[in-house]
Amino acid sequence: MRNFSFLLVTLFSVHGLVAQILEPAKWSYDVSSREVRVGDEIELIFKAIIDQDWYLYSSDFDPDLGPMLTEFEFEPHESYALVGEIIPVNPKEKYDEIWEGNVKYFKGTGEFRQKVKILGESPIIRGSYSYQVCSDIDGKCIPFDDEFTFNDFEVDKSGGGGTGFTPEIKTESLNLSGVQEENEKAFKEDPPTLAAQEKQAEKGLLKSRDTYSPYSLLSFMIVAFLAGLAALFTPCVFPMIPMTVTFFTGKAKSRKQGIRNAFIYGFSIIFIYTLIGSVVAPFMGPEMANELATNWIPNLIFFLVFVIFALSFFGLFEINLPNSWVNKADKQADKGGLGGIFFMAFTLVLVSFSCTGPLVGSILVEAAGGLFLKPILGMFAFAMAFAIPFTLFAIFPEWLNSLPKSGGWLNSVKVVLGFLELAFALKFISVADQAYHWGILDREVYLAFWIVIFMLMGLYLLGKIRLPNDSPMEIISVPRLILAILIFAFVTYLIPGMFGAPLKALAGYLPPMSTHDFNLMQAENNSRLVRVSDEEKLCDKPKYSDFLHFPHGIKGYFDYQQALACAKEQNKPIFIDFTGHGCVNCREMEARVWSDPEVLKRLNEDFIMLALYVDDKKELPESEWYVSAYDNKVKKTIGKQNADLQITKFNNNAQPFYIIMNHDEELLLEPKSYDLSISNFIAFLEAGKQSFEARK
């Protein structure tokens, strides 16, 4: 029975490994001119066609930042000379929260150019290139390397021009003009993710990982919908509800006509707000994302806009549209008919602008740099929440009796919204601060502002603070008390973050942990891990441990054979982490999943840990080189040998990629890749451990 179970697990594992060799980027080579003479300068053109939902890192940003840059190496030859350095053509740029710096990349298509001078009559230009592509859908990152050759030059000796040039193309023939046009159309959007996204992308939920938005598109619409509901309870809007009902009940000739008019009124509100989103969408779409992510000017402007909105809600001043606009719309509404209903809705939008304007503006600002549809859908969701109650009260006017009376509590809603606007304003100044390394809004400073803002909000709800337009409050209502309790509970949650608590629920809003200067949690965690590692000794000193390391103080190996030997000696399963220095999603897994105490405990105690870096450039002694059976190339470095091992043994080339096996090199269960669910990862570790115990 045990053998039968083993057979099923093996077949299941092999099935999960089939057809996993990915090649998301295809390269081709060309030259700028086919008529050459000795002494001419020409450009070598390297073009990459990148699959949908993948991006290719460029060659012109800080190589020490983390991601693997695209690099070209040219073999020296007397027949040509390099002129300058390789030039990437118009890469995109953005701030990446995981790497904490600006990265450059290509989406859809990429192009690099190298100028060379022809020195001989039969030039031969050879070399190699290495690069990394990552997916913004399922978190994979893959390093590649390949070789190129430009030959068959026929140089015109007399100066009359050559007969042509045929570069050796290592990829299949590509119709670059058509493919590039198609890809550029399909890939106009920026990768939503490099970081964080917030992130937000648990496996099985929305996979789009937008760096600039702290929540997914669906969540954004939910927030916009809630903003629409909040707008109803403001002094400019709430009193309009009974006025609207009076308008419909007084003019409708029958209940059927009243219901029809109410629906037209609601659809008109939705149309007007959605039209606003449609008008601004072309100016706030994907092409704006790079500028918003890397330039301090728009982020500072958005910060000031949010602060101005907050001050308006606090009562310092009011943002109103010109009275002439409101009067003209009101006159049109008095004409009656379908046009009158539409202008009644338009009048509502204009009259309520002093309360809804900051909310609408905030939604549009949050939508900037996202998908083209984001401002449109945001306005649609806001309008839905705004229109539904007006429509329902117009259909069922008797519901008015259940509404609370207007009063000072309406202004309290505005003030609470003002506190929220002020808190969210910090996100924009934080983006600029991280991109330009000003160091003025580190994580603990950011948290200090939030703690103070939400503490003041709680005190305001309890009546300890009064602002302009507030009415005297003799008693505290139950809803205010409950809301104050929730606010103070949130403040209590924030306070440990001042000392280094990760506060994972707010990861998309807070600056990265690396900006935190006073981290007691990390010091305590490192001390605990040292105690664990003292109890669980490794068999011998790990090779390459002088320059390769595990996160969170985990102890393990970086050499396959060494880990196998130790696993056999200690009779433990092996946990293999196929990773890379430039793998952004590997870092995210380590930061958000491996850091969990239950995960760390299992990794430290139950497994022999083996990290195999597939992009490490350390060259091994020549005696350790070998020719790969997969691509017949000589594997000289640690990274290339590890990548070859992953391909040949596990039929996979993407990272992160996690394997659990025994010292006989038998897979214990299906491998696992990027998945931010801690419970799923713990289940994976437990299943691997149980499978190992069952086979002892």
pLDDT in tens, 521-561: 555 555 444 444 444 568 889 999 888 888 888 889 999 99
What pLDDT, on the 0 to 100 scale, is given for residue 687?
93
Which residues are CB-contacts of 180 (< 8 A; sequence separation ≥ 6)?
A: 47, 49, 109
On the question of pLDDT at 576 being above 60, the answer is: yes
Q: What SS3 class is residue 125?
A: strand
What pLDDT, on the 0 to 100 scale, is given for residue 154?
66
Class of the 25-186 domain? mainly beta
Q: Distances in Å between the alpha carbon of 623 and those of 416, 459, 615, 640? A: 70, 72, 20, 15
What pLDDT, on the 0 to 100 scale, is given for residue 684?
94
On the question of pLDDT at 499 being above 70, the answer is: yes
Question: pLDDT by residue (tens digit) across 141-198?
Answer: 888 888 888 876 667 665 444 434 444 444 433 343 343 444 444 434 444 333 333 3
Domain locations in the chain as residue ranges: 25-186, 217-429, 521-694
Percent of the chain with pLDDT strictly greater than 90: 19
234, 318 contact by CB (below 8 A): no
575, 660 contact by CB (below 8 A): yes
> Position 392: which residue type?
L
- Across 652-657, average pLDDT: 86
CB-facing half-sphere around the CA of 332: CA atoms within 13 A: 16
**Number of neighbours of residue 623 by Cβ within 10 angstroms:** 6
Which residues does residue 576 pair with via DSSP β-bridges, in sequence order?
A: 610, 659
Question: pLDDT by residue (tens digit) across 262-285?
Answer: 788 778 888 887 787 777 666 554
Question: pLDDT by residue (tens digit) across 87-116?
Answer: 999 898 887 767 767 888 998 899 999 999
Pick the CATH number of 521-694 from 3.20.20.140, 3.40.30.10, 1.10.540.10, 3.40.190.10: 3.40.30.10
122, 151 contact by CB (below 8 A): no
Query: 600-609 as b/e, with b when 16 or more CB fall inside 10 Å?
Result: bebbbebbbb
Q: What SS3 class is residue 565?
A: helix
pTM for the model stands at 0.44
Closest alpha carbon to 129 in 218, 219, 68, 66: 68
